[in-house]
Structure 1
Amino acid sequence: MGEAAYKEAPWIELIDGKVFMMSPRPRPAHTNIAGNIYYLFQNYLWNKPCRVYADGVDVYLDEKNHFIPDVLIICDKSKIHTDAIYGAPDLVVEVLSPRTEQNDRTKKLQAYARAGVKEYWLVSPLARSVEVYLQQDGQLVLDTVYHDIPDWEYEKMEPEGQAEIHKDIKVSLYDDLVIHIRDVFHKDDL
């Protein structure tokens, strides 16, 4: 079997009417982190009205913005169609990669804000951090940055420094949905 047999059609996104290739495919750490987040949301949302979807689901915000987020939560089932999601998800997670980070931080963030996404996460595998943006008057505004700091480093910090480290992500969609930062990066040692 030749190399061509393993070639896949590239995934593309449409951002402000311009086509962007999403290749190369995600690295194992990227996929592991997105999988952890999906698993945490899926366990919590089981038998609840909102649904979680993982990488590979198309989201059509409007005619000029078609994205494939790493993880998303939808609470309005009328937006869920057999081929894709049509309309703004309630929560979107993008795991950053060098190829897509600039768009995730700028153009996509702005498009998600305009569409009415309530919460947007930017997850950095390299920094082992999660930036949480919340909807405020048509804008997604940075609320908190969470860091997965090794225990040995945390224990060496002064109490004031420890107090500045946020470890539990309070998800805005549910009052009792809290994700521990260590669980986001669980088993990610690559």
Structure 2
Amino acid sequence: MSTQTAPHPPRMSWEEFLEWCDEDTYAEWVDGEVILMSPNSTRHQRLLIFLTRLLPEYVERRRLGEMLVAPYLMRLPRSAREPDLLFVTNEHAGRIRATYLDGPADLAIEIVSPESRTRDRREKLREYEEAGVREYWILDPERQQAEFYALAESGRYAPLPMEDGIFRSLVLPGLWLKVEWFWQEPLPSPMSVLREWEVV
């Protein structure tokens, strides 16, 4: 994904941001401020491609909804964030617009880079929690750390447990992941994982 090099106003409305931002721009909008994103590392891209080959296939086969991949904005009350991947259930398909999701995703996935670590773990975690993103995954390939959160009845995020290194999603029924897959070099064959899931 490319970054925007042209000058931009220091502050703009959501409508102005939508007009200014094109499909090749990798940026977020927070309280009227435009935040340009750094290019992704090779490691980040490989993990993103791995997940992009797995999760949409699972969602489509199970007819659960729709997976969307960055650059694609998620409009929240005071910001427009761009998760690496997001999932929208059939129930919330009406939130999908031509260039953004108008409201919280059911699942947001962020692949952490060194420059985004604080933003993903603090700012976005708080924003996603407050907006009602039901499940949030934070994957840090550099530190080989994975965190999974789900909204509790209190409206606050609670960590989701892993058992024997396996994570099971609440939002994607039946989906399980071996966390070690994320750190393998090379990454596992997506087809082999899909076979383990019995979706192909």
Distance 2:3 2:146 in 1: 30
Q: CA contact under 8 A between 1:35 and 1:54: conserved in structure 2?
A: no
Alignment gaps of 5+ in structure 1: 1-6, 147-164
- Deviation per residue, 1:87-133 (Å, 9 max, x gap): 00001110111111111111111110111111101101112221001
- Residue 128 of structure 1: aligned partner: 144
What's the offset of the Cα at 1:139? Answer: 1.6
- Residue 133 of structure 2: aligned partner: 117
In the superposition, relative to structure 1, how do residues 88 and 11 fare at CA in structure 2: closer, same or farther (>3 Å)? same
The equivalent position to 2:108 in structure 1, one of 92, 97, 101, is 92
In the superposition, relative to structure 1, how do residues 8 and 126 fare at CA in structure 2: closer, same or farther (>3 Å)? closer
State TM-score, norm by structure 2.
0.73
- Deviation per residue, 1:72-98 (Å, 9 max, x gap): 101111011111111000011101111
Between Structure 1 and Structure 2, how many residues are aligned?
Answer: 162
- By relative contact order (CA 8 Å, sep 6+), the higher-ranking structure is 1
The equivalent position to 1:103 in structure 2, one of 88, 103, 119, is 119
What's the offset of the Cα at 1:185? Answer: 3.6
The equivalent position to 1:49 in structure 2, one of 64, 78, 101, is 64
Distance 2:184 2:96 in 1: 30
What's the offset of the Cα at 1:38? Answer: 2.2
State TM-score, norm by structure 1.
0.77
What's the offset of the Cα at 1:54? Answer: 1.3
Q: Is 1:19 matched with 2:56?
A: no
- Where do residues 1-190 of structure 1 align in structure 2 (5 Å cutoff)? 8-9=3-4, 11-23=26-38, 25-47=39-61, 48-62=63-77, 64-75=78-89, 76-136=92-152, 137-144=154-161, 166-188=164-186
Distance 1:97 1:81 in 2: 28
Alignment gaps of 5+ in structure 2: 5-24, 188-200
The 3-state SS of whatever aligns with 1:106 is helix
Percentage of matched positions with identical amino acids = 22
